[in-house]
Structure 1
Amino acid sequence: MSPNGFRRITPWLRQLTLRLATLVLVLGVVFATVAVLPGGGAGAVLGRDATPDRIAAYESAHGMDRPLPLRFWSWLTGLLGGDLGTSLRGTAINEMLATKFPNTLLLGGTALALTTIAAITVGAWWFLRPKGVARLLDPITTSAVAVPEFVVATMLVFVFALGLGWLPAATVTDATGTPDVASLVLPVLALAIPQSAWNIRVTRAALGEAASLPHVHAAELDGLPPRHILIRHVLPVAAPTIAASLATSVGMLLGGTLVVESVFNYPGLGSVLAGSVTDRDPAVVAAVVALAGTAITGVLLAADLVRAWSLRGQL
């Protein structure tokens, strides 16, 4: 590799190492926090009538009597090998997540796609028609950003499920446990509305800032059409800011997904996480966090790629 190529890839390796180290640190904190919750995992699983001897035997059988750092290290090494371990109820965590994570990924991914489309199209429309559109979009997006996902979900259920009867209030699945299309509409909207509003505002601001650059003014003086200027001269400059905002929304969407799933009785990671916290099962909680953290890390790296692409002429 040439010295110039090495200099280009070094920041990427540094960013990746830092993010992976942060993820491991977060996993350690989550694992320890759940493990020290009052009640203990054995008592939560066995119930209130369990005797001390039975609890002690259960903890010994599941390695819960080992020091916490050793338990976390054992789980982490298994994670690196693709084995997430076994829950306190004896179920393989890989199997638990294999049936639930695709549904959560479907819900969050669809909401992210809708958010991205809304941010770019509506943000660009706002940029091209700033005067009349601003009177409509400014208050709407401001209000939508301020409303939490579970409030949006409740309002959608009240209007479209209970009021109009157009869509189901609870998720309907097929024989394989996959939600049908109608059941996805309200949960996706509940997630996408607040994040779309935020990203529309970010996109509009990023486009406006990019439009003030000298080369954009030169394109305007040359008489180029506004849409051509937007696509060829403004959007590439604004792309890193838009990508970073959308990448940030991934974390918000994943967190909101776990809440929205409970509102619509959606068969995703939300139910797994709720049950594992009730059972005081640190391995399952950490596994859910690991999946979410890996997804967020991947999207952040994609945002870095967009930034590198937009600045390729300056490197």
Structure 2
Amino acid sequence: MSAVRALALPVLRRIALLVTLLAIVFVAVDLLPGSAARAALGRDASPAEIAAKEHELGLDRPLPVQFWHWISGVVTGDFGRTARGTEIGDLLAAKFPQTLLLGGIALLLTVVLSLALGCWWALRPSSLGARILQPTTTIGVAVPEFVCGTVLILVFSLATGWLPAVTITGRSGFPAGPEMLILPVLALAIPQIGWNTRIVRSALLDVATAPHVESAVLEGLPARTILWRHLLPFAAPTVVAGYATSVGMLFGGALVVETLFNYPGIGAVLAGSVADRDTTTVAAVVALTALVIMVLLAVADLVRARATGGLR
């Protein structure tokens, strides 16, 4: 029972943090200059038309009342409508799968490469590759997704012409070709690969000093056996925590990368809703993204609990 409580408490804290974050989003968008009603009606709208539109959208009510009305609907699955009259739920359903595809491929690439590089680095700390990984992973961590994407465009699109810099959308709403995913995925994954490679390597080196690992080495077990049976299982909690952190970073970075590459995902929805001062749409994007991150963090908590023996 205590293990269940230990897993439930982080979930409750994250829910409380999410509600607080959404309230801050409402306040922040409300403080921006402009009006959702004016953005929906255009510059030529009269003050009377704008006032009528604000009344229709509920913008003439106090901000706490607007927030309570909106979040009460979210609990039942109703995200409301945009200032232009589109169902927000339909809009998210049409765009969020593209963002999930982008973030999912970037996460898969991050896990595979960081595990391989981190394990190799830990097993061969004095090799030439290890000396190369030391500065390159540091650079990867330091460079944000936007800068990384810009460099990739300069090199692989403008200089060589090998890959497209702009995403063209097919009839399905997804990129028209797989080659259009390469640069956005790399822009997202490179910083996280650098970060998680260092985490994997550090976690393995910490476990390597444990008595059972030293015994395995003295018994003459192959390095691969020691890695898979004696190092990785005990390093798993730290490694999984790193990947769980990367989930939030990937989805947050996706919103920026999508704008840079004109990718047809939720980032375009967020950029347009901020420009329109559409508070409910901005909050809906934040809520849905945070919900996905919370689910994945809960899975990571479960994996860590099982790995450490805290869940029976």
Corresponding position of 2:308: 311
| Counterparts of 1:105 and 1:16, CA distance in 2 | 22
8 Å CA contact retained: 1:108, 1:254: yes
TM-score relative to the length of structure 1: 0.95
Deviation of residue 314 (structure 1)? 8.9
For 1:52 and 1:185, the matched residues in 2 are separated by 48
Out of 149-158 and 87-96, give the one that drifted further. Answer: 149-158
TM-score by length of 2: 0.96
Instruction: Tell me how far apart the structure 1 counterparts of residues 34 and 260 of structure 2 sit (CA, whole Å).
Output: 27
Q: Which residue of the partner structure matches residue 227 of structure 2?
A: 230
Q: 2:132 and 2:264 mapped to 1: Cα distance?
A: 37
Unaligned runs of 5+ residues in structure 2 are none
Residue 313 and residue 15 in structure 1: after superposition, are their counterparts in 2 closer, same or farther (change >3 A)? Answer: closer
Q: What is the match of residue 111 of structure 2? A: 116
Q: Could you tell me how far apart the structure 1 residues matched to 2:271 and 2:165 are?
A: 20
Q: Which amino acid aligns with 1:167?
A: L
Q: Does the CA contact (< 8 Å) of 1:269 and 1:288 recur in 2?
A: yes
Residues of 2 paired with 1:13 and 1:191: CA distance? 31
Choose which of 9, 17, 30 in structure 1 pairs with 2:25. 30
| Paired residue secondary structure (2:126) | helix
Alignment of 1:242-261 (within 5 A): 242-261=239-258
- Which amino acid is the alignment partner of residue 103 of structure 1? Q
Secondary structure in 1 matching 2:286: helix
* Secondary structure of the structure 2 residue equivalent to 1:162: helix
Deviations 1:187-222 (A, max 9, x none): 000110111011101110111001111111111111
Indicate the SS of the match to 1:89. Answer: coil
The one of 181, 188, 192 equivalent to 2:189 is 192
- Report the RMSD for the aligned CA atoms in angstroms: 1.4
Among candidates 59, 63, 88, match of residue 58 of structure 2: 63
Q: Which amino acid aligns with 1:300?
A: L
**Residue 89 of structure 2 corresponds to residue 101 of structure 1:** no
Per the alignment, residue 152 of structure 1 pairs with 148
Moved more, 220-229 or 108-117: 220-229
Is the contact between residue 35 and residue 281 of structure 1 (CA under 8 Å) also seen in structure 2? no
Deviation string for 1:232-288 (max 9, x for gaps)? 111111111111111111111112111111111101111111111111111000000
Q: Distance in 1 between matches of 2:31 and 2:162?
A: 46
**Residue 3 (structure 1) aligns with:** none
User: 1: distance between equivalents of 2:311 and 2:209?
Assistant: 19
Which segments of structure 1 move beyond 4 Å, counting only runs of 4 or more? Answer: none
Question: Aligned residue for 1:134?
Answer: 130
**Structure 1 counterpart of 2:290, one-letter code:** G
Instruction: Provide, for residues 42-98 of structure 1, a one-character-per-residue CA deviation record: whole Å limited to 9, x for no partner.
Output: 223323333221211111111111121121111111111111100011111011111
Task: Report the Cα distance in structure 1 between the residues aligned to 2:253 and 2:154, rounded to whole angstroms.
Answer: 19
- Matched residues in 1 for 2:63 and 2:147: separation? 38
Q: Tell me, what secondary structure is at the counterpart of 1:173? A: coil
Is 1:62–1:88's contact at 8 Å kept on the other side of the alignment?
yes
Q: In structure 2, what residue type is equivalent to 1:228? A: T
- In the other structure, the counterpart of 2:208 is 211
Distance in 1 (alpha carbons) for counterparts of 2:8 and 2:185: 34
Q: Does 1:280 align with 2:274?
A: no
Contact 1:199 1:246 in 2 (8 A): yes
Which moves more between the two structures, 43-52 or 8-17? 43-52
Q: Which amino acid aligns with 1:158?
A: L
